[in-house]
Each structure stands twice: as C-alpha cells, then as structure tokens.
Amino acid sequence: MKCDWSDCFDKLENGEIDIMGDISYSDERAQKMLFSDEPMGEEKYILYADLSNMDIGMSDFKFMDGKRVGALMDTEPEIMLTEWENKNGIHTEHVNVNNDNDVEKKLANHEIDAFVFYS
C-alpha cells in the first residue's frame, strides 16, 4: 500500500494495514501495537553546529545552554534532543525547521546555532 509515514501510521492504528517498519519504540506505542524482539536497524541522532560560532565546542556540553537548535517539532529527533538536554542539565530553544532548505536558510540567517538530525 502506498502512503507516506504518517498516513501509514494512521492506517496501522486503525487496522487498514497489518505490518509497518521504521516505528520507534515507546511505552505508549507498545500499549497499542507489537514490536519485534530484534530491532530492524539503528538510528543515530546527530547535533550539527554552525562552526562560525566559535563558542561552540565538543567536550563541554554547557556551551549549548541558551543556543537555538533547529528540529522538526514533535518528532523523535526533537524528543531525543530534549532527553539529552535533561540528562546533561542543558536548556536550548527549539526552533521548528521544515526541511534541509529551511535548515540552510536559518543557519545562514543566524536564526539557529545548530540543528538535530538522524541518520
């Protein structure tokens, strides 16, 4: 069945399709659907930064306090960013980005200092 991710997810939830891949596990989702014992893959969430901003470093995460981080809101990368912030005692401003072109534009206009992406 051809559909985009959100349409397919809705179809899975209402029983129109039986199996779908590429769904991240969450306790909430596990109450509604079954997950395989073995993962189908691994995702890495990467924080990219504008290196022209010289106060950004790699060893001390406190440099991220107060930075503006682009993320597609309410997606797994943004959720993982929030968890990482909580774990490291950091607070950033999350700025919605829609796609790669939007990220490039917001970096060039200094509207964001970094962005989170998954691979």
Considering only CA atoms, which of 111, 119, 116, 107 is closest in space to residue 51? Answer: 107
Strand order of the β-sheet with 45-49 is 45-49, 114-118, 68-71, 93-96
Give me the percent of the chain exceeding a pLDDT of 70: 87
pLDDT of residue 86: 93
57 or 107: which leads in pLDDT: 107
Q: Domains in the chain, ordered, with CATH?
A: 1-39 (no CATH), 45-118 (3.40.190.10)
pLDDT of residue 56: 56
pLDDT tens-digit series, residues 25-39: 788 888 988 888 887
The answer to whether the CB of 21 falls within 8 A of the CB of 86 is no
Give me the percent of the chain exceeding a pLDDT of 90: 20
Tokens 């891949």 belong to residue: 21
Count of residues making up the chain: 119
Give the whole-angstrom CA distance, residue 60 versus residue 13.
42
Q: Work out the widest C-alpha separation in the chain, in whole angstroms.
A: 51
pLDDT of residue 54: 54
pLDDT tens-digit series, residues 35-58: 888 877 777 777 777 666 555 555
